[in-house]
Amino acid sequence: MTAGELRHLSFLDLVKLCGNYRLASITSTARPVPFRATPDGPPVGLLLPSVLEALAAHNTLRRDGSQLEYWIMRDDSFVSFAPELSTPAARTRAMQETTIWWRDTGRFESIISPRLWRGEWYAVYVDPFGPLSVDGGDPTQEADDGENPNYAFSMERSACALFGVVTYGVHMTVYEKDDDGTVRIWVPRRSATKQTWPGTLDNSIAGGIPARSSPRWSLAKESMEEGSIPEALVDKYAIAVGAISYFFQTKDKALQPEVEFVYDMCVPKVEGLRLSPGDTEVETFKLMPLEEVIEHMHAGEFKPNCALVLIDFLIRNGYLTPDNEPHYLDIITRMHDRFSYEHW
């Protein structure tokens, strides 16, 4: 798109920017290979040819060292962990060793270089729409595997897109509403030094859900770290209002299906709440009238998935309706994607 076109993105354009991958439209020759946690289990991710080659190279490395090969590769049928890696902790350690080797040897440099490496664990689930694990603990330790049978393993956050696994986050809109209906939203600008999407506008509070953590715990953590919001205010005013999901393919062609748990937090002025950066991930916050927020959305200034959360806010609060938006149904259905999971 040209700079002029970016200033006039429709709401549907914004949705398509984020949900830009459709598995059903991919030809058989370019179709990714299913990735399983166990040879006889369901798919938990999708692997592109470049990742298959890198997994084969890691198998060769271990085989040359007379060690167990971590990866079972069934031609174009599927890839899985070796059956000897029978626990979540064992699979986690194998995944960590493999991806660290890629990082340190410069493989996938635009995705998991030392600069882009996050040092954060994300959980992967047997059923991506099933229960999340919330028992806490170190994902690499057998004693902390927990009792959730849906938990398969954990892995480095930045490497998730290489394996096409579903990741999870929390996004919250913090706003004020006057008696006359005027809405103002707290909008942060991401740090210019942030690893991903530097300098773009963001949701009031947003972040990934670490392995072994609940959405609500993650929300409280991010609220303090990013916006200096006390946990007591989060407990008092933050409301879970739903979730959005989308299948994003990065500029490097990596596959990133994501689920975001969505929260609203309308805070009365009497609380005197003013959001301010609590860490280095956010440069500034601005309390912005809703009309101005929408202008920045149409200009393409928001991180793509953050624009989706704001579109969801507009729909739920009656600002975006089937009477004023011709693509209303297309927008709503695209924002609740199941990633063609039944075809994985």
For position 282, what pLDDT does the model report?
84
The predicted model gives 157-166 an average pLDDT of: 98
Average pLDDT across the chain, whole number: 92
pLDDT above 90 covers a percentage of the chain that reads 82
Count each helix (H run) and each strand (E run) in the chain, helices first: 11, 12
Cα distances from 263 to residues 53, 215, 243, 280, 336, in angstroms, run 40, 10, 8, 23, 16
Q: Which of 91-100, 144-153, 187-196, 262-271 has the lowest mean pLDDT?
A: 144-153
Give the model's pLDDT for residue 1.
42
What is the DSSP code (8-state) at residue 314?
A: H
Question: Mean pLDDT, to the nearest integer, of 318-342?
Answer: 97
Tell me the domains of the chain and their CATH numbers: 3-21+167-343 (3.90.79.10), 33-163 (3.30.750.160)
Flag whether pLDDT at 125 surpasses 80: yes
What pLDDT band is residue 135 in, cutting at 50, 70 and 90? low
**Averaged pLDDT, 175-183:** 94
CA 300, CA 11: separation in Å to the nearest integer? 10
Angular region, 322: left φ>0, alpha ψ -120 to 50, beta rest: alpha
Mean pLDDT in residue range 162-178: 97
Predicted confidence (pLDDT) at residue 313 exceeds the cutoff of 90: yes
Average pLDDT of the residues in 199-228:
94
Average pLDDT of the segment spanning 186-208: 90
Question: Which carries the bigger pLDDT value, residue 212 or residue 10?
Answer: 10
Whole-angstrom distance, CA of residue 304 vs CA of residue 14: 7
Residue % of the chain over a pLDDT of 70:
95
Evaluate whether 338 touches 245 at the Cβ level (below 8 Å): yes
Mean pLDDT of 25-38: 86
pLDDT score of 90 more than 80: yes
Distance CA 193, CA 10 (A): 29
pLDDT of residue 136: 65
Does the structure show a pLDDT above 80 at 64?
yes
pLDDT band at 230 (very low <50, low <70, confident <90, very high): very high
Look at residue 7 in the predicted model and tell me its pLDDT: 61
Question: What does the pLDDT look like over 14-28, one tens digit per residue?
Answer: 999 999 999 877 777
pLDDT at 6 over 70: no
pLDDT of residue 146: 56
Concatenated DSSP letters of 224-289:
HHHH---HHHHHHHEEEEEEEEEEEE-TT--EEEEEEEEEEEE--GGG------SSSSEEEEEEEE
CA distance 321 to 249: 28
Q: Six-digit token pair at 58?
A: 């890691």
